[in-house]
Amino acid sequence: MRKISAALTLSIATLVTGFLVGACGDSSTPNGTANNGSTATPAGNSTTTGSSGKGLKIGSLLPTTGDLASVGQQMLGSVPLLVNTVNACGGVNGEPVTLVQVDDQTDPKAGAAGMTKLATLDKVAGVVGSFASSVSSAAVSIATPNKVMLVSPGSTSPVFTEKAQKNDFKGFWARTAPPDTYQALALAQLANKKGFKRISTVVINNDYGVGFEKAFVQTFEKLGGTIVNKDKPVRYDPKAQTFDTEAAAAFAGKPDAVLAVLYAETGSLFLKAAYQQGVAKGVQILLTDGVKSPTFPEQVGKDSDGKYILTGAIGTVPGSDGKALEGFNKLWKEKKGGSPGEYAPQAWDAAALLTLAAQAAKENTGVGIASKIREVTNAPGTEVTDVCEGLKLLKEGQDINYQGASGNVDVDANGDVVGVYDVWTVGDDGKIKVIDKVTPK
């Protein structure tokens, strides 16, 4: 993705902020109730919690609107929950943590504007975000020169690994969800295990889709499979509204299955188009994390017999098997009710890393966080699953090895972690259920 200059993004921020105040004046928390003690920031879809003027200030840059809203809204509660938990046990470096929440609208331009606001106006030290890889690509190009630590709970494009290896991010990038090189490997192995020999691909034309496609094709061919449309890959425009041509092309050539790397809003339109053309009949649909939300089967809709079009589709999504998961689920139920959604554990862990690294550095800066983020997530050190316990040990000068809710969160030199994947399917009732786990080998 083309990098955007700080001056340009600042002007974008000004324009977008002005638009948002007039068009999207929502300064509420994700569940629609005002934050206790919150004050709206100049951006109409931004919320500040616990502002004291001192101490660590962090931001979140996640999608409450746009193509990924149905998945993004499932993780939004995690960051304020973590901040409230940390503040209840004394904060970081002796002061409460302040959180500024911004909606990135699943749009790189809005994400760049939001990141510019967080870095230059709010002057945060770290940010949880973004979710879409294309938005994180725009955001990290602003975070890096401004020395803001960006920790994504869901941007899985392999491009970030490649850029980190070139030191493009100067250490100001990490993620708590594993890169798609692992998920693509897991899904290719699953497809091979189920006996699929000929697969076509259709992907959203951005870092996430193209990166996943590349990794999947490489792995599936190594396993002896054939990519039917390898020479003419189907990549759709994220802003497209009709998908008849893409649907016909993706299902041409009589594949056993079609790998569809989509976002929910546009992806539902693509799958509807495939059904309406009749080309999807008898072809297995393989999906990924970008569409795994409870509402997605309903978005795609039902056939003339009242059966869900997506019934029988299977997919993968980064799972959560961390030692802190049970405690996180219990806290979520106690404070918010129900169960956390997709990527909520990864978002919790991302926010936890920012606070723990700042405490380890004994300074509330992005430089400090970046210098300690690997230290608090890897051995040696006392294993801790409780963030407050971790902060206490760090204050006492001890080393820790944080064990997260999403996994062990061992951040490597490229900012990556390795994870486990849930295999999910859509039942006759339109409900998504996890049926297996797979670890890439």
Residues 315, 337 share a domain = no
With respect to residue 264, please indicate whether it lies within any of the assigned structural domains: yes
Name which of 204, 113, 210, 114 is nearest 159 in CA terms.
210
Name which of 172, 166, 232, 108 is nearest 354 in CA terms.
172
pTM tops 0.85, yes or no: no
Strand partners, 383: 401
Report the pLDDT averaged over residues 153-157. 95
Residues 155, 134 share a domain = yes
Distance CA 25, CA 43 (A): 8
- Quick check: 320 pLDDT over 80? yes
Report the pLDDT averaged over residues 396-408. 97
Looking at the structure of the chain, the number of domains it has is 2
Residues 370, 237 share a domain = no
Q: Which pair of tokens denotes residue 193?
A: 């295990």
Question: Exposed, middle or buried: residue 265 (CB in 10 Å: 0-12, 13-18, 19+)?
Answer: middle
Cα–Cα distances (Å) from 429 to 176, 286, 297, in that order, read 32, 19, 9
Residues 296, 355 share a domain = no
Report the pLDDT averaged over residues 35-59. 58
Residues 86, 29 share a domain = yes
pLDDT of residue 48: 65
Residues 166, 18 share a domain = yes
Question: Which of 3-12, 225-234, 242-251 bottoms out in mean pLDDT, i.e. has the lowest?
Answer: 3-12
Residue 226 belongs to domain with CATH number: 3.40.50.2300
Residues 329, 207 share a domain = no
Distance CA 195, CA 193 (A): 5
State the residue range of the domain holding 148: 6-178+322-402
Q: Which pair of tokens denotes residue 17?
A: 């902020």
Q: Which pair of tokens denotes residue 146?
A: 């401004």
Selected residue with higher pLDDT from 37 and 372: 372
- Quick check: 250 pLDDT over 60? yes
pLDDT of residue 155: 96
With respect to residue 235, please indicate whether it lies within any of the assigned structural domains: yes
pLDDT of residue 209: 95
- Using a pLDDT cut of 70, give the percent of the chain over it: 88
With respect to residue 410, please indicate whether it lies within any of the assigned structural domains: no
With respect to residue 28, please indicate whether it lies within any of the assigned structural domains: yes
- Quick check: 202 pLDDT over 70? yes
Cα–Cα distances (Å) from 217 to 156, 199, 229, 235, 246, in that order, read 17, 9, 10, 14, 19
Report the pLDDT averaged over residues 180-195. 93
Residues 270-315: tens digit of each pLDDT: 999 999 999 999 999 999 999 999 999 999 999 999 999 999 999 9
With respect to residue 426, please indicate whether it lies within any of the assigned structural domains: yes
Report the pLDDT averaged over residues 408-424. 93
Residues 192, 89 share a domain = no
With respect to residue 118, please indicate whether it lies within any of the assigned structural domains: yes
Helical packing angle, 78-88 and 325-335, nearest 10°: 90
- Quick check: 43 pLDDT over 80? no
With respect to residue 411, please indicate whether it lies within any of the assigned structural domains: no
pLDDT of residue 53: 63
Report the pLDDT averaged over residues 167-173. 98
With respect to residue 413, please indicate whether it lies within any of the assigned structural domains: no
Residues 167, 206 share a domain = no
Distance CA 48, CA 28 (A): 10
Q: Which residue has the tokens 């059904």?
A: 275
Round to the nearest angstrom and report the end-to-end CA distance of the chain.
30
Q: What is the mean pLDDT of the chain?
A: 89
Residues 63, 173 share a domain = yes
- Quick check: 2 pLDDT over 60? no
pLDDT of residue 349: 98
Residues 293, 427 share a domain = yes
- Annotate the chain with three-state secondary structure: CCCCCHHHHHHHHHHHHHHHHHHCCCCCCCCCCCCCCCEECCCCCEEEECCCCCCCEEEEEECCCCCCHHHHHHHCCHHHHHHHHHHHCCCECCECCEEEEEECCCCHHHHHHHHHHHHHHCCCCEEEECCCHHHHHHHHHHHCCCCCEEEECCCCCCHHHHHHHCCCCCCCEEECCCCHHHHHHHHHHHHHHCCCCEEEEEEECCHHHHHHHHHHHHHHHHCCCEECCCCCCEEECCCCCCCHHHHHHHCCCCCCEEEEECCHHHHHHHHHHHHHHCCCCCCEEEECHHHCCCCHHHHHCECCCCCECCCCCEEEEECCCCCCHHHHHHHHHHHCCCCCCCCHHHHHHHHHHHHHHHHHHCCCCHHHHHHHCCCCCCCCCEEECCHHHHHHHHHCCCCEEECCCCCCCCCCCCCCCCCCEEEEEECCCCCEEEEEEECCC
Report the pLDDT averaged over residues 235-259. 96
- Quick check: 16 pLDDT over 50? no
* Cβ–Cβ < 8 Å for 67, 110: no
Residues 229, 137 share a domain = no
Q: Which pair of tokens denotes residue 126?
A: 């770290």
pLDDT band at residue 51 using 50, 70 and 90 as cut-offs: low
Selected residue with higher pLDDT from 192 and 17: 192
pLDDT band at residue 438 using 50, 70 and 90 as cut-offs: confident
